[in-house]
Amino acid sequence: MSMLGRLVRHGLVLIATVLLGGLLSAVLVRLAPGFDVDESQLDPHLNSQSLQAIRQTRADQRNIFRYYFHSLQRAAHGDFGTSLSLNQPVGTLLRERTPLTLRLVAMGLLLSWAAALALSMSAAWIRVTAYDVLATAVSGVFLCMPAAVLALLSVLWNVPGALAVALIVFPRVYRFSRNLMAKAQAMPHIVTARCKGVSELRILLWHVLPIAGPQLLAVAGVSVSIAVGAAIPVEALCGLAGVGQLAWQAALARDLPLLMNITILVTFVTLLANSGADIIGHALRGNEA
Amino acid sequence: MRFWRRFACAVLLIVVGLSLAANWLAPAGYAKQYRDDPGSPPSHQHWLGTDDIGRDRFARVLYGTRISLLLAPAAALISTLMAALIGGLAGYLGGPWSRAAMAVTDLFLSLPWLFLLITVRAVMPLNVSPMISVLVTFLMLGLLGWTSAARVLCSSANALRGSDFVRQARASGIGSARLFWIHVLPNLKPVLYAQFWISIPVFILSEANLGILGLGVAEPLPSWGSLLKELEGMVSVGEEPWKFVPLILLVVVVTSFQFVLSKQDELAA
C-alpha cells in the first residue's frame, strides 16, 4: 500500500473509531442510572408548564442516536456542552487543562524512554548477567507497583509529577526494548559478526538498533496510551489541574457529559499516536527496502 | 528459574493461606474500632497499629488480602471466558465476524485501561453498599478486561481454523458448533491458561489504583486499594513505616505472579 493510501486508511480508521468511541460513551451516559432525573423537577415553585418543559428537554435526549447526533452537531460548532459539576463550558475546561497534561505526558515519555533505552542499550552493550538482572529487577519492582502508589510516593518525596509518569511508563518500555534487543542479538548474522571480532558497540549501533528500531516505534505509540492513562492518578493525587484530574473529578461527581467529551479527546490522542508510529515505522521500513 | 518459580508459588500459597485464616489470625474483625487507640503505632495488641478511626491494621490487611486475592482470579476467570467466547469464536468463524470483533476490541484498546475503568465506574452509582461496591469493582474488571486476551485468542483460533485436523473434522461432517467446542476450544487451553494468569496481577493492580482514587471497594470493607489510600495522608516515609506493609505485600504477590507467569508464557509458546 502506498504512503498516501496508508495515510487515508489511518485517517478513516481514526475518525470511525473516535465516532464509535463517542457513541459508546453516549450510550453509557444515556443508560447510566439517574440520567433522566433532574433536581429542578423537585422545585415546588415550578408550575406544571415549566415541569412539562423540563421533561420535554429530557425527552429529546432519550433517543441515544438523536442525543449523540445533537452532541456532535453542537461540537462541530465548538459547543461541547456544559459541565454539570463545575458549571463551566466543557470546551473552556479542556482548553485550559490540555496543555498541562500534554506537557506532563511529553516529559514523562521523554524521561521514561531515555531511561529505558539507556538501560537496555547498556545491558546489550556490556553483556554482564548481573547488570541485566539488576536492571530487570529494578524495572520489575516499578512494574509491580500500582500507578497511583507511584503518584503518592512522588508527592511524599516532593518530586515532579512527570517523574511519576516516567516511572509508570519506564518498566513497560524497558521490558519491550530489552526483549527486542536480546532477540536481535541472537540472530545468526549478529552471532557471526561477534565471532569475527566486531566490537559490541559497533554490533549494537550498526546491527541491533536497525532491527529493533521499527518495532520500538510501535511501542512508542503504545507508550503514549500508557502515559495518558498514568496522567490520571498522577494529576489527581499530585493536585495538577490537567485533563486527568478533570476526568477523575468528573468520575467522582458522575459528570457524564464531561466524561464523554474527555473520552473522545483521549481516544483521539491515543489513536493519533498509534497511527503516527505506524506510519513513521512504515516509512522507515520503506526507506530500508 | 525453576527454584524462583517454586519459591513464588510457595509465597502465593502462604499469603492465600494467611488471608483465608484471617478469622482465626486477626485479633478482631476488619471493622471493629478501638476508640481509645486511634492511630496507634504497632504494639503487642495491634501488630501493625491501628488506623485513624482505631481499626486494627493487621486484621484489615488480612481481610483486604483475602478480598483482593480471591476476587481478582474470579474477575480473571470472567474475562478469560469472555475472551474465549468472543475472540475464539471470531477467529474460528473468520471473515466479517473476525473483523467486527477486532474492531470492537481495537475500540476498547484505544482507551487507556485506567481511563476506561474510571469512565465505566462513573456510569454506575458510587453511593452503594460495601458488598455491592466489591461486586461492581471486580465484575467491571472481568467484563472489561477481555479485550487484549480476545485479540490473542482470535489469532490462535484463526490459525487453528486452517489446520489439517479441523479441515479433516469438517470434511467428516462435524457441525460447526461441535467442531468449536470439541476440537478448537480445547486446543486453545494453553493460551487460555496463560491469559488467565496474566490477568490476575493486572486486576489486582487495577483494583488498587481504583481504591486509591476512591472509585473501588467502599469502606468499611478493606481491600489493597482502600488500605493503600492511607498513604495519601502521610507526610514522610519514615514517619509511620508500618503503613507500607500492604504495599510491600502487594508488590511481593504481584512479583510472585510474574514468576509463575514465566512458566505460563512457556506453555503458551
Residue A136 has what pLDDT?
A: 87
Q: Give the tens place of pLDDT for each residue, B157-189.
A: 988 888 899 889 989 988 888 888 888 889 999
Interchain contact, B237 vs A156, CB within 8 Å? yes
Residue A151 has what pLDDT?
A: 94
> Residue by residue, what is the 3-state secondary structure of B8-66?
HHHHHHHHHHHHHCHHHHCCCCCCCECCCCCCCCCCCCCCCCECCCCEEHHHHHHHHHH
By mean pLDDT, which of A138-152, A160-174, B194-208, B235-249 is the weakest? Answer: B235-249
**Does the global pTM surpass 0.80?**
yes
Q: How much of chain A, in percent, has pLDDT values that exceed 90?
A: 32
Q: Helix (H, G, I), strand (E, B), or coil: what is residue A89? A: strand
Q: Are B211 and B226 in contact (CB under 8 A)?
A: yes
Q: Are A89 and A82 in contact (CB under 8 A)?
A: yes
Q: Which of B114, B133, B256 to mutate to test the interface with A (most CBs of A within 10 A)?
A: B114
| Residues paired with A82 in a beta bridge | A89
Give the C-alpha separation, A237 to A227, whole Å.
Answer: 15
In chain A, the residue whose alpha carbon lies closest to the alpha carbon of B208 is A146
Three cell numbers written together for B88: 475464539
Rounded mean pLDDT of chain B? 89
Q: Phi and psi at residue A52, in whole multiples of 5°?
A: -60, -40
What lies within 8 Å, CB to CB, of B44 at 6+ separation is none
Interchain contact, A144 vs B126, CB within 8 Å? no
Predicted confidence band of residue B232 (pLDDT cuts 50, 70, 90): confident
Using the 8-state DSSP alphabet, how is residue A39 labeled? G
Q: Which of B15, B119, B198, B215 to mutate to test the interface with A (most CBs of A within 10 A)?
A: B119
Give the C-alpha separation, B153 to B91, whole Å.
Answer: 7
Give the C-alpha separation, A5 to B223, whole Å.
Answer: 50
Q: Give the tens place of pLDDT for each residue, B83-125.
A: 999 999 999 988 888 888 888 888 888 888 988 898 888 878 7
Residue among B118, B233, B258, B1 nearest A140 (CA)? B258
Residue A58 has what pLDDT?
A: 64
Q: Give the tens place of pLDDT for each residue, A227-243.
A: 999 999 999 999 999 99
Q: Are A122 and A181 in contact (CB under 8 A)?
A: no
Predicted confidence band of residue B21 (pLDDT cuts 50, 70, 90): very high
Quick check: B77 pLDDT over 50? yes
CB-neighbour burial class of residue B55 (10 A; exposed 0-12, middle 13-18, buried 19+): buried
Three cell numbers written together for A222: 503504545
Predicted confidence band of residue B269 (pLDDT cuts 50, 70, 90): very low
DSSP A221-238: HHHHHHHHHHHHHHHHHH
Which residues in chain A touch residue B205, judged by CB atoms under 8 angstroms apart? 144-147
Q: How much of chain B, in percent, has pLDDT values that exceed 70?
A: 97
Q: Give the tens place of pLDDT for each residue, B23-36.
A: 999 988 899 999 88
* CA B61 from centroid of its chain's CA atoms: 17
Half-sphere exposure for B78 (CA within 13 Å, toward CB): 15
Interchain contact, A228 vs B112, CB within 8 Å? yes
Q: How many CB atoms lie within 10 A of CB B99?
A: 10
Give the C-alpha separation, B255 to B269, whole Å.
Answer: 21
Q: How much of chain A, in percent, has pLDDT values that exceed 70?
A: 93
Three cell numbers written together for A72: 456532535
Write out residues in chain A with pLDDT < 50, as ranges: 289
Half-sphere exposure for A95 (CA within 13 Å, toward CB): 8
How far off is chain B from A141, nearest CA to CA, in Å? 7
Three cell numbers written together for A242: 490537567
Three cell numbers written together for A144: 509491580
Give the C-alpha separation, A147 to A228, whole Å.
Answer: 12
Residue B144 has what pLDDT?
A: 92
Which residues in chain A touch residue B110, judged by CB atoms under 8 angstroms apart? 17, 21, 225, 267, 270-271, 274
How far off is chain A from B48, nearest CA to CA, in Å? 20
In chain B, the residue whose alpha carbon lies closest to the alpha carbon of A259 is B119
Residue B263 has what pLDDT?
A: 64
Q: How much of chain B, in percent, has pLDDT values that exceed 90?
A: 45
By mean pLDDT, which of A93-97, A169-173, B2-6, B197-201 is the weakest? Answer: B2-6
Rounded mean pLDDT of chain A? 86
Give the C-alpha separation, A243 to B248, whole Å.
Answer: 31
Interchain contact, B208 vs A21, CB within 8 Å? no
Residue B265 has what pLDDT?
A: 58
